[in-house]
Structure 1
Amino acid sequence: MKKRLLVMMVSFLLYGCTYPTLDKAIEKSIPYDVHDVVLIEEVGATSIVLYETNANKDNFPQIDEPVIALAIFKGSDQDGWKNVGPNGWTHNDSDSFTMYQEFYYERDAQGEVTEYIPIYYGKLNNPNITQIITIDEDGHEKEAVLSEGSGGRYYVAFWDFTGLKGISKDGEIIDQMKWE
Structure 2
Amino acid sequence: MKKLLFVGLVILAAIGLRSWALTSDFEFGKFDDFEEALQKGIPHQINHIVHKENYDGVTIVMYTTFPDQVELPFADYEALAVAFFKGSDKEGWERIGQHGWSHYENDNMTLYSEALRDYDHKGNTLHDFYVVFGEINNPNIVTVETKTHEEKTFEEAKIISSNGLRYYFQIGREMIVRGLSGSGEVLDRQGG
Q: Same fold (TM over 0.5)?
A: yes
Structure 2: unaligned runs, 5 residues or longer: 1-27
Report the equivalent of 1:150: 163
Report the equivalent of 1:176: 189
Contact 2:67 2:75 in 1 (8 A): no
What are the within-5 Å matches in structure 2 for residues 1-180 of structure 1? 17-58=29-70, 59-61=72-74, 63-64=76-77, 66-136=78-148, 137-150=150-163, 152-179=165-192
Structure-1 separation of matches of 2:74 and 2:161: 25
Structure 1: unaligned runs, 5 residues or longer: 1-15
For normalisation by structure 2, the TM-score amounts to 0.77
For normalisation by structure 1, the TM-score amounts to 0.81
User: Offset of 1:44 from its aligned partner?
Assistant: 1.1
User: Offset of 1:17 from its aligned partner?
Assistant: 2.6
Residue 159 of structure 2 aligns to which amino acid in structure 1?
A: L
Residue 147 of structure 1 aligns to which amino acid in structure 2?
A: I
Alpha-carbon distance change, 92 to 17 in structure 1, aligned in 2, over 3 angstroms: same
- Could you list the runs of 4 or more consecutive aligned residues of structure 1 that deviate by over 6 angstroms after TM superposition? none
String of CA shifts for 1:36-85, please: whole Å, max 9, x gaps: 10000111110110001112334153524x22111110111111111113
What is the aligned-residue identity percentage? 29
Alpha-carbon distance change, 178 to 51 in structure 1, aligned in 2, over 3 angstroms: closer
Please, what is the CA RMSD of the aligned residues?
1.9
Structure-2 separation of matches of 1:153 and 1:44: 25
- SS of residue matched to 2:52: strand
